[in-house]
Structure 1
């Protein structure tokens, strides 16, 4: 090989290395700015609202979830990185000291966007109003498009926005349940949050199904009764509206949903918005609990899946700088006030 060709190859390699590094830095800065915008916008939205006292609990939880995701990012972010000034930092940390202290010791049970979606339910109640107001709120925060280049899975911004939301309900009951896809796109954050949800957040049927498909296993899907209605929506960036979309191939395997898109999906099992809303349905609808069927479900098998998940999660958390063992997983609870202060 000539020296000219070698020099060209070295230049191309160096260009790729710089591009890779720049993408990582952009990804970190995107998480930082989106976290800051989300905190500022949500605090402004709920201040002086008639249900402010109730909504502050969710805001507390959201702060912790954002700070946790910043901490486990490969270019670590701390709570102070998500606020604009020292004055804002002092004000927030005095009002909500727990998230500022427990972000790297206690584990979240859901993503910031899932918390935001539940706040929108409280604020607006009906499905159409929730979707409409959520789209308006997201546009006002000016989150970047999750894909830097259309169709490229390699150049994604870390926006904290879930690209898909979902609503499900039973024909026998008018109550609707909402869920969001996972907004943590980079590194091991998505794997960590899915595993945490399996262990703490989701109904045991959903947890069982998601854990059973890990690592390419054939898995145990849930079959729901025909009364189930489930619809997912994707935000159209140009029109800023939520349009309905078909379930993906993973949801077909997990939940036997009809009319699924057969195309291959890049995200892991558990990522989809259907997972969260169907879990809520199972937790609250006794008929669905009794009629839903999942093969191989037993306490013994579920415990085996949980132990495997705990072991994997412990390794992932250690890589992210959080030390846990199977016996000391500490989950963050905004309803439990701790005797802490940093004012």
Structure 2
């Protein structure tokens, strides 16, 4: 055998292994999606009328992320049980109707968190909330790779207030993550959090504004993240320090808006008006005109990302019912 043929066979074998590894990784997405849906349906039995909207929302969010995967996973592939698929279509028709045209407002695991908090006997018992999330993840039995599953939870609070929870982004892949951050800035997060994130997002090459909406939390506001798998406290990353003024010596830097702190603080600001008023940005670049430009940048970048994943958006965000 010539050296050329040996090299060709080696390259072909390497490509075959790469493809098998890729397909195995992508199939974990399908398995994870199906198991999360199953577990949410089980939980929903306990509080059907109260939490049905969360099942509706997570179905749409998962179906959307499935369709923009490469290879894509339409609902009938994710829910590969004909009987179950039929029942879901009957009880939750709207996710099937709009997953290929409307954007979700948040990533799937945020719905899981809301389900667990809603059903908790004591919503202020954060250890119970964290334990329930751990149990939920263990039920999935997915090993080390867990697409659609958040890795961290954050708890924010001021003295004598309730606790406000949030989880990290639970989308798989770079473009889906960027899309969900953009959707959260435009539609979901409180304006204080959205403004802080839009200071750095989209990346510099896609920004036309010097907008600065970063903020400084007051000392009496606690904002603590934990690893869901074992409950260990996690320091804020450098990105969260830049966005929210959180004290840290950690040098790691996650993509802006992906950390659990964003959702947790957003939930706090939506309810604690006085706290929100006291953390308003003070930069001279924090102007209404600059903010409009920043929003336009995010909208333009979102459309670019959707074009790259070949999603035909009808300009609407999905409203669960």
- TM-score of the two chains, using structure 1 as the length reference: 0.85
Shift of 1:323: 2.3
Instruction: Name which of 94, 99, 107 aligns with 1:98.
Output: 94
Q: How does 1:169-208 map to 2 (within 5 A)?
A: 169-171=157-159, 173-208=160-195
Query: What's the CA shift for 1:255?
Result: 1.0
| Stretch deviating more after TM superposition (214-223 or 245-254) | 214-223
Q: Quote the residue 1:145 is aligned against.
A: 144
SS in 1 for 2:232: strand
Give the 3-state SS of the residue equivalent to 1:165 in structure 2.
Answer: strand
Write out per-residue CA displacement over residues 66-93 of structure 1, whole angstroms, 9 at most, x where no aligned residue: 1000011111111111213211111110
Question: Is there any run of 5+ residues in structure 2 with no aligned partner, and where?
Answer: none
1:249–1:18: structure 2 CA closer, same or farther, 3 Å change rule?
farther
Tell me: CA distance 1:298–1:38, structure 2 relative to 1, closer, same or farther (3 Å).
Answer: same
Structure 1 partner of 2:34: 36
SS at structure 1 position matched to 2:113: helix
Name the Cα RMSD after superposition: 1.9
Aligned to 1:331: 317
Structure 2 distance, partners of 1:260, 1:69, is 34
1:182/1:9 CA distance change after superposition, 3 Å: farther
Are the structure 2 counterparts of residues 11 and 142 from structure 1 closer, same or farther at C-alpha, using a change threshold of 3 Å?
same
Q: Residue 128 in 1 paired to residue 127 in 2?
A: yes
- Provide the residue aligned with 2:225 in structure 1: 232
| 8 A Cα contact 1:30 1:159, kept in partner | yes
Q: CA deviation at 1:310?
A: 0.8
Distance across 2 between alignment mates of 1:27 and 1:246: 30
Separation in 2, partners of 1:322, 1:141: 29
Moved more, 216-225 or 97-106: 216-225
- Contact 1:224–1:293 under 8 Å retained in 2: no
Cα pair 1:252 1:260 within 8 Å, conserved: no
The 5-angstrom pairing of residues 52-71 of structure 1 reads 52-71=48-67
Equivalent of residue 256 in structure 1, options 245, 254, 264: 245
Q: Which runs of 5+ in 1 are unaligned?
A: 147-157, 336-343
Give the drift of 1:256.
Answer: 1.2
SS at structure 2 position matched to 1:62: helix
What's 2:298 paired with?
309
Inter-partner Cα distance in structure 1 for 2:161 and 2:134: 24
Q: Which secondary structure does the structure 2 equivalent of 1:334 belong to?
A: coil
Deviation at 1:298, TM superposition (A): 2.6
TM-fit CA distance, 1:35: 0.7
For 1:57 and 1:242, locate their aligned partners in 2 and report how far apart those are by CA, in whole Å.
28
2:143 is paired with a residue of what secondary structure? coil
Q: Does 2:211 match 1:222?
A: no
Decide whether the 8 Å contact of 2:100 with 2:312 is kept in 1: no
1:301 shift after superposition: 1.3
**How far does residue 13 in structure 1 lie from its aligned partner after superposition?**
4.0
Give SS of 1:329's match: coil
TM-score with structure 2 length normalisation?
A: 0.90
- CA distance in 1: counterparts of 2:299 and 2:83, whole angstroms: 40
